[in-house]
Amino acid sequence: MQSEMNFYKFDRAEWSQFHSQNFTSVTDAELAQLRSLNDEISLDDVKTIYSPLRHLIHIRYEDYQGDMFTLSRFLGMQRNPHTPFIIGIAGSVAVGKSTTARLLQLLLSRAYPDKRVQQITTDGFLYPNAELERRGILDRKGFPESYDMQLLIHFMNNVKNASGVVRAPKYSHQIYDIVPDEYEVIDRPDILIVEGINVLQLPSKQPIYVSDYFDFSIYVDADPTLIEQWYLERFGILLDTAFTDPSNYYYQYAIGNRKDAFDMARKVWRDVNLKNLKEYILPTKNRADVILHKTTGHKIDQVALRKW
């Protein structure tokens, strides 16, 4: 274990020692279903990295429930308010946030069979492409100004205050846009996992921000050169699956010159995703409670745990 500034740092073997005794088993088939395109995760990752992480979340969740009980006693309430425990997961495009979110949802659902554990991505709170074009910021899609932050804050506030069924816009990577008249439904969860590149960013001229609603947060980290490699690999897979579907956003690139398509993808990475990572996403890393650092092959080689 290393201690640096406000984080304890553990290599893979050290972190595995915090393994939960009541480990929740996961099958290869389940892992195949929840992993993102070109992401890699193994049963050993589940036991070595994610089982200790689930155990830590279990402890934090118990503490949270105790705090809610204490508050209800102070206020003289007959019963605890139904206030969900919210986990935020941040990191770059193509780093594997969605795989982490879906795996944690599975593990927590198994650990708490009587609880409702749901997951959502902030992609749905991007402005529709037509609105981004109207604002002249389509080439800055994913940057802070491309999100309807007022709508996202309103959503988070309703979820945290247990305001019944809450709906969020649905985003499709196939059409690269918000899906008209389709919604993700969040129905009074006990635990909600919120995944997105922007979830740990600090507010800009706003009194409250997304991370203010989090009770636990995770940052998925990797060297930008590796993330670019994963981004391009994912782009290639998207091309391979899009050439038969003219409605797919990637169809135009799939049927065209492949070199030109990859030149375009590299430009998007350099001018949009890498710029966004360096200027807005990476600076939020040290705000997380846990940092999962990935190396070649998406292998998590180090876990950093916030001291305070």
The model's pLDDT over 55-87, given as tens digits with 9 standing for 90+, comes to 999 999 999 999 999 999 899 987 777 899 999
Query: Could you give the residue ranges of the DSSP H alpha helices within the chain?
Result: 12-16, 28-34, 43-45, 51-74, 97-111, 129-135, 149-160, 224-242, 251-254, 258-268, 274-276
Residues comprising the binding site for ATP? 91-98
Q: In this predicted structure, what is the pLDDT of residue 81?
A: 75
Residues comprising the binding site? 91-98
Q: In this predicted structure, what is the pLDDT of residue 108?
A: 96
List C-alpha distances in Å: 36 to 186, 230, 295. Answer: 22, 11, 17
List C-alpha distances in Å: 270 to 101, 254, 267, 273. Answer: 26, 21, 5, 6
51-74 vs 97-111: helix axis angle to the nearest 10? 60
Cα distance between residue 186 and residue 263, in whole Å: 39
> What is the model's pTM?
0.95
